[in-house]
A and B are shown apart, each in its own frame.
Chain A
């Protein structure tokens, strides 16, 4: 056997011996961004389908959370920046090659748009709502006439928001575990799944609950398929990709990933949801906590595993 010992004199903080420049802030933001995207996609989509009165939680109530979720996510992002006083530089440049750049712009546009979207529904949710100023009421009423266009724009931007968090990571070919284009769709599906679970948890209408439970089951199926695909792709890749996959197939990330993300975060809740559809009694809080927890865990593990995977030379 040929042995290889590599000794390096480099010991830069947060870089050596294992890269760890991104702590809890980035995966936490990716998690909130994914859920926000999911909520907006469902709300806008079912508005376009004309089902706003049948599915009030998904269409009218859930978007109320979006500005808060994105706001908390933005705070986490700012906490991560090490040169934070210069953050405004993000908005003096547009760099198409950098997913972080168009992600920042998407966030910058989607945040106010989601507030406008909420404003068009607020009188439906709170019948006693008073805009105080007639000009505001006139403006909101005018926007309501164009709600369909707003919904179409929101769907497009939310898909970008949900996907870019994964594309952001897959653009780094220096970290072989991230370097797979499946991460974008996987994060989008998992964001949608978490928000579907939240809708069916908060909804009081049987139709809405069952519809979103069914949607969630399909989404979890898609997620499982994409996870298998992720590892197939890596195992059929180069040596560094194979090594990256092996971190999950016997290596350090095996138990956290397969037990907590796949077992408790996907397989168990999907079984519970199927039982729920068959009218078995399942406490509503259980699947939603498992799914949202698995969602968060997925982001943490992917961000950490990517930083642990590297080229060898």
Chain B
């Protein structure tokens, strides 16, 4: 089992529904976010390209945060989901500095927090909150090891990229382009 997410940059309109859904579902403290929208405009007016991405923890298969954590608080859960165990986190912030995506932050209670791929929903067979609310259905979540899953098929039939794979992280969030 290898959980992954694919986001269709051609469908995403940057409405921030995924961000709000995540904050509500996961009780994300005010002023923080586990997922966010990036808009990248390239070119000079009037010749412009726009890419809109919903970003979050990439649940890397070779996660630098898990590697640098001194206490095993950052760990791989089932399906390769990268999680932080609050009661083992000392708040040293090594994982924050080791993440090239800056996907982690310090929860006001002191431990490090980040996207969990909504593992509590995934365990019940549901999609993560961000995926389930997306009004344009631009996000797909599923198991890469299952060739018939929505995500495997989306990636087999579309061109895709991941973010800074050259950082050696083997990210598991993909962008359909």
Contact = CB atoms under 8 A, between A and B. Distances in A.
B31 interface: yes
A259 B86 CA distance: 43
Interface in B74-97: 86-94, 96-97
Given A6-B39, A14-B106, A90-B71, A173 B94 contact: no
B67 interface: yes
A166 to B, nearest CB: 14
A19 B111 CA distance: 17
Interface in A3-55: 3-16, 19, 21-22
B19 A9 contact: yes
Instruction: Identify which of B42, B71, B73, B168 gathers the most chain A CB atoms within 10 Å of its CB.
Output: B71
Interface string A212-243: 00000000000000000000000000100000
A95 B70 contact: yes
A125 interface: no
A114 interface: no
Given A15-B105, A93-B72, A313-B163, A98 B67 contact: yes
A1 B110 contact: no
A230 B74 CA distance: 31
Contact of B167 (A90, A95, A173): A173
B168 A2 contact: no
B21 to A, nearest CB: 14
A65 to B, nearest CB: 26
B155 interface: no
A81 B92 contact: yes
A60 to B, nearest CB: 34
Nearest to A171: B68
9 contacts: A4-B40, A6-B40, A10-B33, A82-B91, A84-B110, A101-B71, A171-B68, A175-B97, A311-B167
Given A1-B44, A7-B38, A9-B19, 20 more contacts: A3-B42, A4-B41, A5-B40, A10-B38, A12-B33, A14-B105, A15-B104, A21-B93, A80-B92, A84-B110, A86-B111, A87-B90, A89-B88, A89-B90, A90-B71, A171-B68, A173-B167, A307-B97, A311-B164, A313-B163
7 pairs of A and B residues whose beta carbons are closest in the complex: A82-B91, A83-B91, A10-B36, A174-B100, A101-B70, A83-B110, A12-B105
